[in-house]
Amino acid sequence: MLLFFVALGYPLALPVLMPALLKAQTPPQHATSGQVAILVGIAYAVALLLDRQAGRARRVELWVVPARAAGLTAASSVVAHLVGAYVVPEVFGGQDPAAANGAALQCVAVGALAWAWRTRVRAWAGDPVPRVRTPARPVRGGTRRTATVARPAAGEVWVAMVPFRDRAEAARHYCVVVGARSGYAEVLQITSKDKDHREDHLRMEHEGWDRTGKPSWVEIGMVPRRVPYESFLSDHPQGPCPPRIWREIQRRQAALGAARPPRPPRPRPSGGPAPSARGPRRP
């Protein structure tokens, strides 16, 4: 575990470690502003990847992940500096913080901070998302297991076995979740077949959910398909639906709901009196 913390903390602690290492040289050297900028950039990139991976289960504003990554980068530098200035001399008896033991201790402290940060962000991202248990699946050796996965949320793109509209079969497709229900989600299918000539399909950008670059179209203004939660093929979404597409889907779904005929009234039990609009008479 210590080696893991060292490996995780080293790139995050670079903005503090490298200037101290250069200063300890004979003769002493000083990092230039350009070198410091590169070191901070490396630490920020690692923090960004760590935060993005930990918080991918929840949709957030575009600025949230970069802001959290900047906070983790700054906190890592502060921890590395404090450990080098106060803890290393106490532990190693006045040893230069730039020495191998001191640098390792700084990396361990920063790695532990980064892991705690990741754990907290992951818990925060998973708290509001209900969890569902998928049915047991056969695995090698004849044993079976169950898995707990995040329940798909509206506005997310997932991979699932999406049922056909004209027959009782399903095929693997990307889909946009438009609603979460008890036991199933309502989705609109995404296809790579050219649907530019169809008014019930809309060309969809790949921003945030697909890296293949293939053209894609999503159903729009149609009755959503029902996909049981056990038919989703991953434990996390591919990413958020592009904002422009999601706004149009919401608009079309609202119009579709308004255009549906009202439900017929429930039939009265035979033999019973007809309900009165005025309610029961008082004696």
The rounded radius of gyration (Å) of the Cα atoms in the chain is 28
| pLDDT score at 142 | 46
The pair of three-digit structure tokens given for residue 147, joined into one six-digit string: 């898995």
Which class would CATH give 150-259?
mainly beta
| pLDDT score at 140 | 47
| pLDDT score at 279 | 47
CA dist 149 and 152 (Å) reads 9
Contact by Cβ (8 Å): 117, 76 = no
- Name the residue ranges covered by the structural domains of the chain: 2-126, 150-259
Does the pLDDT of residue 198 top 50, yes or no?
A: yes
Does the pLDDT of residue 245 top 50, yes or no?
A: yes
Residue appearing with tokens 């039990």 = 269
Where residue 135 falls among pLDDT bands split at 50, 70, 90?
very low
| pLDDT score at 158 | 95
Contact by Cβ (8 Å): 44, 73 = yes
Tell me the pLDDT tens digit for each residue of 257-274: 766 655 555 555 555 454
Where residue 57 falls among pLDDT bands split at 50, 70, 90?
low
Where residue 207 falls among pLDDT bands split at 50, 70, 90?
confident
pTM of the model: 0.48
Secondary structure letter of residue 232 according to DSSP: B
Which is higher by pLDDT, 58 or 10?
A: 10
Tell me the pLDDT tens digit for each residue of 138-157: 444 444 444 445 689 999 99
Mean pLDDT of 14-21: 90
